[in-house]
Structure 1
Amino acid sequence: MVRFVDTLESLVIARRLRVPIDAPADPTPDWGEVAARQLDAALLSAGFACSPALLERLTLLPGATVLDLGVRVLAAVRELVGDHVEHNAYFIDFPKNVPDTVDFWLGQLSTAVAGAEGAPLNLLNLAGYGRYQHSYADLLAAHAELIPLAGDRVTVLEPGGGLEAEARALYFSLAGSEVPLAAEDLAALRVLAAYCDGEPERIPVRENRAIVNEVRLAAGRPLLVDTVTDVLRLACACSGGDVTLATPTRFRSFRRAERRALLRALDDTVASSPAKLGDVPRHREPWKRLGERLHPHEHPRFPGAIQVFEVARGTRAAAGFDSRVEASLAQGRVDDVVKLLRHTPGALLRRLDHLLRVGSSSTTVLSAAEEAAATASGRVLLSLREHLQNRRATAAGRLFTNRYGRGWAAPDLRAPLADEVLARALTILDEEITRRLPDLGELIVDPNVLDVALPLSGKAVAPGLGMLPRGSLSPVHGELLRFFVHWHQAHQRTDYDLSALMLDSSYGDAEHVSWTNLTNDFARYSGDLTEAARGASEFIDIRLPAATRPIIIPQVNIYAGEPFDEAAEAFFGYMTRDGEQEGRPFEPRTVRMKSDLRGSGRVALPLVFLRDDDGGWRVKWLHLYLRGHPAFNQVEGNLVGASLLVRSVVERDYLRVRYLTGLLQAKGSSAGHTTYIGLTAPGDLPEGTRVYTPATLHELIPA
């Protein structure tokens, strides 16, 4: 139970940057103030600090309690920033004394030839290559202490309420999210659901509903189900499987009461709408496996449930909704398609572009779209708005991504939409989105948040420090940019390679820094590590004032071994420093962004750095993975794919916070409260101000 509570506490700290503190029953003078100051000093070494309000709250606690809490807080923030592991470097003096690439490899080859004596040459077996040649203590001794500067990152921690209240607030925020959650947030939601009572009145995302239903099923409460697929997701959740249905689940044996509840839910759903049997063929195989566990024919009082499994086995016909739509489109019967889709407004809006291109009357289609917009989800409206605004300009290519962040680009061969049609569609969407936006009162907006993309999906974005949605832009401060990757293999020898691809303004004239090219005029590589039995870190330094390429793309290639999501640990991040500010290769207070690596691709593309016309630099979030090869991925082998994919993201016009705040300000307000939207919350906001930061931006998406 203690470990479970610690997990909840860490979740709140990492997701909200708030420290849960129960009010002391009887505040008494103690050495709590001394302990609070010690904690604040320790946090500063990791780039964090206590707000004045948090310090004041801590001083009311007994000193021993503050120390115990401080140990847990420090552990949580160190892991958040990546300071919970030892970051050694292959070249002990990095970024100094990095050898010339040719000299380095000639030295390695001469050693290999001298020791080979006729045996086959294998560089991986060399004692001097791919493994640390010094201890972490040796590395620390070789580097001076970091000189703190005003530009170093300081992330402020605020006081929270009691753990129960903070956990419940986080639970309601995640469960009620209007956008799909990342895998890590789904795991957090499962932990929170088991601890917190109740749930939000509205749970729009099906995966979230499955996790909440798991708790309701265990408690014998009615299930939140309105499609047969909801029941399938719930069965996967109960079996510890994938509620997104992207990967197969091995269903467990269900107790009799559970079987009855699942079958009753299926029966009620089919009884209310027999057409929902059309959803079964989409997941035919999982339904067959589930039927082996539920034994539906032992329960004749649930005929609707029996029909579900008959459709899955093919003994009962049920035309899927999508198949009927596609059949009508293939025959050119657009009016019939519109009639079918009127009952599913989200599906109609997702196909709007296609219908406008193939239909003979855009007026009919737009009228149906206006009707659908009144009842479709806010996320669908915003996604369509972003899609249509990108139809106005010709981009490098169409960008496609799946739920795991794997991306690919293709030429845009679609016929253009007429200007008047686009203008009418955009007006419909803007008016409906504005109507749904809540009255936020007096609006205070940090200019730095305006170019943050709206979080229309969180699936490909692993939570971490300084994370922003794909397409977000933010300035880069500092003269030295340093990428880092750390991984720890689980079962087999694993070699990840940190690389940096540099391109000109036309995305050509490629140059790179990697294990095959250790340095160039403005970048240095820390050295190649080919195994990580105890963890391994690699770094790349970029001196931005000297950069001869305006586009810099860091990437992590899996050369051999375990995928990102099978390694014991794998994360990427970047630091910035000023001038000649030295220190260890990894200094937590200079880390601007850190996040876990995962996804099904073999090449990770987290970010792209872009030089502006005035010489300043900005970073644009990618959160993308290339499929790559099963092994031996190198930056030289994915130049074309990476450059085309990155260009598609850079040239895409993402829907940003600027759009929503513009609608809010145009709408006006009569409320008497204040709302703040920014990257972080300042400490001088009026009491009672509602605050939205990147961690809670999804709450701005209208229902």
Structure 2
Amino acid sequence: MRDTLEQLVVRHTRRIPSPARSAGVPERPGAVGRGEVAARQFDAALMSVGFKLSGQALEHLSGLPEEAVTGTAVRTLGTVRELAGDHVEHNVYFIDFPANVPGTFDFWWRCIADALADDSARERTLDQLSRGVVDLLTLPSYGRYHHTYPEMLAAHDELVPALGDRMTLLHLGGPLEDEVTALYLALAGSSTPLGEETLRDLEVLAGHCADGPQPAEIPVRENRALVNRARLATGSEPLLDTVTDVLRLACALSDGDVTLQEPTRFRALSRPVRRALLAGLDAVVADSPAKLADVTAHREAFKRLGERLHPHEYPRWPHAADVFAVARGEKEARSVDSRVEELLGMSDVPGAVRLLRSTPGKLFRSLDRLLRGALTPQERETVVAAAEEVVAEVSGRVVLSVREHLHNRAGATGERRVFVGRQGRAWVTEDDRPPVLPPERRRLIAALDAEIRRRLPAVDRLLVDPDVLGVALPLSGKATASGLGVLPRGSLSPVEGELLRFFMYWKQTSRSTDYDLSALLLDAGYATLGWLSYTNLTEVEGEHSGDITDAPDGASEFIDLRLGAVRGTFIVPQVNIYAGEGFEEAAESFFGFMLRESAQAGRPFEPRTVRMKSELRGPGRVALPLAFLRGPDGRWRAKWLHLCLSGSPAANRVEGNRVSVATLLRGIVEREYLTVGYLTELLADRGTSVTRWDGRTVPDGPVTYIGLERPEGLHPDSRIVTPENLRDLIPQ
């Protein structure tokens, strides 16, 4: 368990818990002992995978016993290698890649010739040739490695180090328990929903920290469900104030989906747990009978839960029985949503506004519809005035979401509208909504800006890395995959280097699985210029490493692009599932990209050149992690997508989805996201001293620092915000 907790701390904070205190070894500040050699070896091993110890961490480790440093090194190296994707062997089909990649048809004919020379495949291949169609998957030499990983390594020169190689600092943390508690409080108290992997990490932390300090508030209900399960296990009262809190807790107890997006198969629950859930339901409804209306949104789930809780056995909790009576339709409890629908159906916008004022969050989520339904200036005034009056009661995340939405409603009717679900599944439709009229839109935007400005914490000195200004605010962790160097959907980040190399790795669980890495090239009008894939191995811009069609032991594919030779404006890498297991079924699957200079050589995969590596997860059959845009200045930038397409059950190819991909890309590229730059402007308006960091000069006193990486030498009382805790910028 200790190893797992230490890995979580390193992965989420880029801090190494102090080995001296964590392992019970007496500290010797400033001492130089036998640990010095081990610490320097640790630092050298980290640098080989693109990480490095901060000066403080190296000094601290040097003063420890050798065994303490070695243990920390083993655990930390395993964690950071996995972060960068270096924990697996990345082989390539063409052993010399990116050199000596053949033309596609020449390669296919070579595979056919090999099959004709193979006694076991000759007859089948001749039969296919006579019919004019050859299935590549039946050719013995196609889709499988023909050399070992060590043989591939021997074919490549050593990587020549370059100043542009990634070097991520690992800083010294406090004792393990202090680091774990701080991480738990940060995740549990997050004001924005967490991604799937982070939710799983919170589950581990909640169980470990159940008896320790707790967040003052847990605004995200999914987080609360996991914390409540841990509290219940220790005999503490769960935190419940809606009937849905109880339903989420029941899902957590059954290892189900606490987001309530997927149905949960409820387990048989022990009598003490049943009593706790029923008592919680009874208390919630007794305190506020109107909350019974929430049952209708999850009627079927409550029915199934009632079959496990047996409320009829506990007559002392009649209000809990009412919950299941509503679920079965035996008792009516109209929701606010149904009453609002009725009023809007009668074109009674003022009536709907009066009803929604009691639920400010719902009012804000309905603003666009209310304004479109308002037929007179007086009705629009009613809507805007109500929003201005209740804005202080709305969560910061919702205020920012509505602010971003209104900013993007300035366009004309008839444009394309992109929808993205919680799991990244995207689709496009015509936007036929009437516009939000400019006077109301401008007035609401001004009110929302003023409210966000009011809620931002007091900051005396703000130090900002210019590269972070284009990073989108993480209004939901669902819009960001887990991994290294990953930014929220809509973010823009600079891309520097001569060669851009994509990589993809997957390992199947139980059945033959074929993933295909491709890159689509588009012009400024989103028209297709070409692509690189297993059907087009070479182009002017670069090369594909070759198609692997089975991955029982894991497999990798690469695409190499010379950025100076790329035609057009957009590069869109994608991962297509051709056959077999989906992203959620595979034992492991991830995507990333590297940047290097042409003179560096090296293996196809070099961890210190990795700029980004993200897990491939989601329900679709085509993954679109990000795209690359050439700006008017000729420089390339990454635009983060985190999207997936449903695709076909099998045989997905870049040729078949290029129109859908171009349409989605247009929707994301042309949408304007609220960024870190937006918040820094609001802080500057309040009189905060904002300084752009030059990458060299570190202020003497404490500052609030926002950047892609934490620099060394900041004052210990400084507040640090990097992509790992970017959610902290979202005000409550």
Task: Note whether the superposition's TM-score is higher than 0.5.
Answer: yes
Say whether the 8 Å CA contact 1:36–1:58 is kept in structure 2: yes
In structure 2, how many angstroms separate the alpha carbons of the residues matched to 1:602 and 1:5?
37
Match of 2:539 in 1: 520
Deviations 1:267-300 (A, max 9, x none): 1111122221111122122111111111001001
- The answer to whether structure 1 residue 700 and structure 2 residue 706 are counterparts is no
Q: Decide whether aligned partners of structure 1 residues 429 and 107 sit closer, same or farther in structure 2, where only a CA change above 3 A counts.
A: same
Say whether the 8 Å CA contact 1:396–1:648 is kept in structure 2: no
State the shift of 1:116 in Å: 3.5
Match of 2:400 in 1: 382
- The answer to whether structure 1 residue 215 and structure 2 residue 212 are counterparts is no
Equivalent of residue 435 in structure 1, options 428, 431, 454: 454
- The answer to whether structure 1 residue 470 and structure 2 residue 489 are counterparts is yes
Deviations 1:398-443 (A, max 9, x none): 2211110111122221111222111101011011111111102211
- The answer to whether structure 1 residue 86 and structure 2 residue 89 are counterparts is yes
Q: Decide whether aligned partners of structure 1 residues 418 and 527 sit closer, same or farther in structure 2, where only a CA change above 3 A counts.
A: same
- The answer to whether structure 1 residue 13 and structure 2 residue 5 are counterparts is no
TM-score, structure 1 length as denominator?
0.97
Local SS of the residue matching 2:302: helix
* CA RMSD after TM alignment: 1.5
Say which is worse superposed, 396-405 or 8-17, in terms of deviation: 396-405
In structure 2, how many angstroms separate the alpha carbons of the residues matched to 1:113 and 1:138?
27
Match of 1:502 in 2: 521
- The answer to whether structure 1 residue 602 and structure 2 residue 621 are counterparts is yes
In structure 1, how many angstroms separate the alpha carbons of the residues matched to 2:58 and 2:157?
31
Equivalent of residue 660 in structure 2, options 634, 638, 641: 641
1:361-376 → structure 2 map (5 Å cutoff) = 361-376=379-394
State the shift of 1:220 in Å: 2.1
- The answer to whether structure 1 residue 406 and structure 2 residue 425 are counterparts is yes
Say whether the 8 Å CA contact 2:169–2:710 is kept in structure 1: no
In structure 1, how many angstroms separate the alpha carbons of the residues matched to 2:481 and 2:569?
27
Match of 2:271 in 1: 256
Structure 1 unaligned spans of 5+: none
Local SS of the residue matching 1:499: strand
Deviations 1:358-404 (A, max 9, x none): 11321100011112211000000000000011112359522211110
Equivalent of residue 98 in structure 1, options 94, 97, 101: 101
Match of 1:686 in 2: 715
In structure 2, how many angstroms separate the alpha carbons of the residues matched to 1:29 and 1:502?
55
In structure 2, how many angstroms separate the alpha carbons of the residues matched to 1:107 and 1:331?
71
Q: Decide whether aligned partners of structure 1 residues 431 and 43 sit closer, same or farther in structure 2, where only a CA change above 3 A counts.
A: same
State the shift of 1:321 in Å: 2.3
In structure 1, how many angstroms separate the alpha carbons of the residues matched to 2:580 and 2:227?
36
Q: Decide whether aligned partners of structure 1 residues 25 and 367 sit closer, same or farther in structure 2, where only a CA change above 3 A counts.
A: same
Match of 1:109 in 2: 112
Equivalent of residue 150 in structure 2, options 112, 129, 137: 137
Match of 1:243 in 2: 258
Match of 1:125 in 2: 138
Amino acid at match of 1:78: R
State the shift of 1:122 in Å: 4.2
Say whether the 8 Å CA contact 2:520–2:528 is kept in structure 1: no
State the shift of 1:253 in Å: 1.7
State the shift of 1:673 in Å: 5.1
In structure 2, how many angstroms separate the alpha carbons of the residues matched to 1:144 and 1:129?
26
Amino acid at match of 2:37: V
In structure 2, how many angstroms separate the alpha carbons of the residues matched to 1:302 and 1:618?
59
Match of 2:555 in 1: 536
- The answer to whether structure 1 residue 30 and structure 2 residue 30 are counterparts is no
In structure 1, how many angstroms separate the alpha carbons of the residues matched to 2:702 and 2:341?
49
State the shift of 1:72 in Å: 0.7
In structure 1, how many angstroms separate the alpha carbons of the residues matched to 2:503 and 2:702?
43
Equivalent of residue 74 in structure 1, options 74, 77, 81: 77
In structure 2, how many angstroms separate the alpha carbons of the residues matched to 1:338 and 1:215?
40
In structure 1, how many angstroms separate the alpha carbons of the residues matched to 2:729 and 2:633?
33
TM-score, structure 2 length as denominator?
0.94
In structure 1, how many angstroms separate the alpha carbons of the residues matched to 2:714 and 2:656?
51
- The answer to whether structure 1 residue 164 and structure 2 residue 177 are counterparts is yes
State the shift of 1:670 in Å: 10
Structure 2 unaligned spans of 5+: 129-133, 691-700
Match of 2:697 in 1: none
- The answer to whether structure 1 residue 359 and structure 2 residue 374 are counterparts is yes
Total equivalences in the alignment: 700
Match of 1:582 in 2: 601
State the shift of 1:112 in Å: 4.0
Local SS of the residue matching 1:117: helix
Deviations 1:103-161 (A, max 9, x none): 11122234445634155654323221111010001100000010001110111100000
Match of 2:612 in 1: 593
State the shift of 1:352 in Å: 0.4
State the shift of 1:29 in Å: 5.1
Say whether the 8 Å CA contact 1:95–1:541 is kept in structure 2: yes
Amino acid at match of 1:531: D
Match of 1:675 in 2: 704
Local SS of the residue matching 2:78: helix
Say which is worse superposed, 389-398 or 328-337, in terms of deviation: 389-398
State the shift of 1:549 in Å: 1.9
Deviations 1:431-461 (A, max 9, x none): 1111111102211111111110000011142
1:55-70 → structure 2 map (5 Å cutoff) = 55-70=58-73
Amino acid at match of 1:193: A
Equivalent of residue 657 in structure 1, options 676, 679, 700: 676
Amino acid at match of 1:577: R
In structure 2, how many angstroms separate the alpha carbons of the residues matched to 1:164 and 1:560?
45
Deviations 1:204-230 (A, max 9, x none): 000000001111111222221111011
